[in-house]
Structure 1
Amino acid sequence: MIEKILKRTMRLFLFAGFAKTNTDEIAKHIGISKRTLYRYYNAKEKLINAVFNFLKEQITAQHEAIIKDKSKDPRQKLNEILLIVTKISFKMGKPFINDIQNFRPDLYMMMKEFRKERLRRLADIIKEGQESGIFRKELNRELTIDTLIAALDGIINPKYLSETTFSISSAFDTVFNIFIHGIESEKSNSQLKNSIVHSHPDAHILFFKSWISTQNKTSRRMESSIFKA
């Protein structure tokens, strides 16, 4: 029951925020009575804290399972983890982002630190790829990850989404493939260069449009996302 409560409440909070969402709405969204909700969480603040911890645990578990999977090479690991991050970011509505910044700055800071921790793990994947000869050894790992995150942030920007004909999945695949093609070692690159960017004739345009879209966000918006440092 606890997992059901946390999963469904998390979806509700990501979309609608939590400041103006009352316990009646929460219970209705979960599909339980208000009395049952209070049996597990007798205060809204306790539920909010539990949902945030649940979100962190879910993300960490998924990421670590991918990172430790020896059957996947670094390219696959980056792809799968960043797809998870992109999907979660896409689900975050403006009310949620505003709420954590304005009403729960403690959670906002906690999630910023959590994001930094997750990005460090992505840098570890870049390091793994460098050591195995898949990625170029001269790459600055942290800057490489920051650049990729910035490009992916661009494709989930509402302004970009309202103007493009690309689907989220198509945009993600194209941006990721172009990026990976750019950081691969010469040996690894030559093996894949005929299969990376031919999925769409305007792939290079999509990459730069998504990057420019990111640069055009306001500084407030960039500071507000929990997946930004």
Structure 2
Amino acid sequence: MREKIIEKSNELFLNLGFKSVTMDEIASALGVSKKTIYKYFKNKTELVAAVTHHMFDAVSCGINGICDLKMNPIDEIFSIKRFVMDNLKDEKSSPQYQLQKYYPKIYASLKQKQFHVMQGCVIENLKSGIEIDLYRSDIDLEFISRIYFNGMVSIKDKDLFPLNDYSMNTLMNYYLEYHLRGICTEKGIQQLENQLKLK
């Protein structure tokens, strides 16, 4: 039952946002009483924490699977983007923004975990891109990986990028192009242009 509650809550939170969804709505969507949910989670904050960590683990696992395929580093970045978009439903409700606003402790702990996972993944991507001459050899790996993470977090700030003006998919495409044009060699730019035709 615990898994079912997490999965249904995950779906509702992604579509409607963490703040908007009530425990009553979750119970109703599951066809159970609110008391049943409280048997597994003592309050909504505890449920939100469980859902966000479940989401994080599922996305991390998928990203690791893509990285294990050892594809061309530029194709890898776009494959990860597509996977994340499929899993986060284009983030219509901007869950990260709501998490930051209403559940700052959960957000801070999640951001820390995201940073560690992304840092390793991005540095590996940069190294393999340099090896096959898609990325410039003079880039600072540590700096680029941190800037990349920071940019990824910033484009989800809906004060900066209102969802009415930009879909999350458009923002991700713009950001990846911006990131890659800054670090690619001529050969890498060609590869990027090919990917941009597919989007």
Length-normalised TM-score, structure 2 = 0.72
The match for 1:115 is: 114
Change beyond 3 A, Cα 1:58–1:192: closer
Q: Distance in 2 between matches of 1:96 and 1:118?
A: 19
Q: Distance in 1 between matches of 2:83 and 2:193?
A: 27
Aligned-residue offset at 1:109: 3.7
The match for 2:103 is: 100
SS in 2 for 1:133: coil
| Equivalent residue runs for 1:165-180 within 5 Å | 167-180=167-180
CA displacement, residues 16-52 of structure 1 (integer Å, 9 cap, x when unaligned): 436x86532331244433344345x152255344223
Which sits farther off after the overlay, 52-61 or 79-88? 79-88
Which sits farther off after the overlay, 84-93 or 128-137? 84-93
Q: Distance in 1 between matches of 2:34 and 2:5?
A: 12
The match for 2:69 is: 69
Q: Distance in 1 between matches of 2:97 and 2:193?
A: 40
Letter in 2 for 1:64: N
Length-normalised TM-score, structure 1 = 0.64
The match for 1:140 is: 140
Q: Root-mean-square deviation (CA), in Å? A: 3.5
Change beyond 3 A, Cα 1:97–1:11: farther
Q: Distance in 1 between matches of 2:153 and 2:5?
A: 29
Q: Is the Cα contact below 8 Å between 2:136 and 2:183 reproduced in 1?
A: yes
Count of aligned pairs between the two proteins: 191
CA displacement, residues 128-176 of structure 1 (integer Å, 9 cap, x when unaligned): 2122322111111232234344545555443533674x54433432432
Aligned-residue offset at 1:117: 0.8
Change beyond 3 A, Cα 1:150–1:198: farther
SS in 1 for 2:103: helix
The match for 1:161 is: 162
Aligned-residue offset at 1:67: 0.9
Q: Is the Cα contact below 8 Å between 1:133 and 1:185 reproduced in 2?
A: yes
Q: Distance in 1 between matches of 2:30 and 2:55?
A: 16
Percent of residue pairs bearing the same amino acid type: 21
SS in 1 for 2:118: helix
